[in-house]
Amino acid sequence: MVGMSVEQVLRQFELERHLKQRVAYTKVIEEKKACHCEISLKEPFQRYLKAKGIRLYSHQCKVIELLRAGKNVIITTPTASGKTLAFSLPVFEKVVEGASALYIYPTKALTNDQLKFIKEVEELAGLQLFPAIYDGDTPTSKRGEIREKARIVLTNPYELHQVLPWHAKWQRFFKSVKFVVLDEAHRYRGVFGSNVALLLRRLRRVCERYGSNPQFVLSSATLANPLEFSKELVGLDFELVSEDGSPRGRKYFILYNPYFDGKGTLSAHQETAKLLELFVKNGVHTLVFTVSRKMAELIARWTRQNLKASNLPEHVVSSYRAGYLPEERRQIENALKKGELLGVVSTNALELGIDIGSLDAVII
């Protein structure tokens, strides 16, 4: 593999006739500098930030202030702007004091990724937050212990639906729950969103029965009407944080048309495999989103075959989709994060805010 910069690879789209013909539109978004802020934090959290070399951005400080003031908050800053850290710091402050928190995620992959983040904070800050995942993969032998001891429970709407009728077993947790967090909230739309809205109202009634009145935190990078959306979903008023203080590198958007001449020579999926091969050959870490499980497998297979034909290692490309065993999903996620994989072809199972480390290109 040849390690090239993104700019060097994009230069090929200008020089190679096959690529140049298919580029219908290009847009460049220039870089933006960070806007930092200062806020009072307890010593363990200062220690964590120092260990990670993190300075808080302006929108993160605003989220912390609003949550400390007892407000419900919806955060709509862009991807990789530090939304999770922003709402987690005030949540952890209360958890250390004895409160509980419920984190709701739409996918198991995202749930597992966030558990790693919480455990990292525990280790570097020297805290005991007692986080645990409670979903369909949780062994029966561990469920009782989680109900009795966990302070931060990470789950999904489907599992919460199963838990609420058995709320008496969760009395300890529901009595002390102070925060309910819904990450990637834009997924809760349409009929599914209506069902989740009713689920959250059931949750609020259960909490009220046990004397708690939790604050709600919603997070999403892709919402056009956040205040209206949050009110309809949860049934409460929210404060909006949308002004982004994080830095941003230069980004390139390319509209690539395989049928530039009205017919094309390859299908859109085969063209995708060719583009992925180009990026992988040049050492560009690439994530491909496709329309189905079948196409995720086929595009990954075609790319591996092309790499093998060029006497290049084929194991640097993998598919990712629902239906894999939990261990297989974790293995792929970790390999992508560590840079062992240069290309992953996925359904929307991998789109929701998972920390996958350094990523250079995305093909949709």
18's tokens: 């096959």
In the three-class reduction of DSSP (H, G, I as helix; E, B as strand; rest coil), residue 299 is classed as helix
CATH of segment(s) 6-29+260-363: 3.40.50.300
* CATH class given for the domain over 43-241: alpha beta
Task: Give the helix/strand (H/E) hosting 171.
Answer: helix 171-176
Handedness of CA 159, 160, 166, 169 (dihedral sign): positive
The domain ranges of the chain are 6-29+260-363, 43-241
- From the number of C-beta atoms within 10 Å of its C-beta (0-12, 13-18, 19+), residue 264 rates as middle
- Per-residue pLDDT tens digits of the chain, which is 364 residues long: 566 778 888 889 888 888 999 999 999 988 889 999 999 999 999 999 999 999 999 999 999 999 999 999 999 998 888 999 999 999 999 999 999 999 999 888 788 889 999 999 999 999 999 999 999 889 999 999 999 999 999 999 999 999 999 999 999 999 999 999 999 999 999 999 999 999 999 999 999 999 999 999 999 988 889 999 999 999 999 999 999 999 888 889 999 999 988 887 889 999 999 999 999 999 899 999 999 999 999 999 999 999 998 888 889 999 998 888 878 888 888 888 888 899 999 988 776 555 665 788 999 9
> Do the domains 6-29+260-363 and 43-241 sit in the same CATH topology, yes or no?
yes
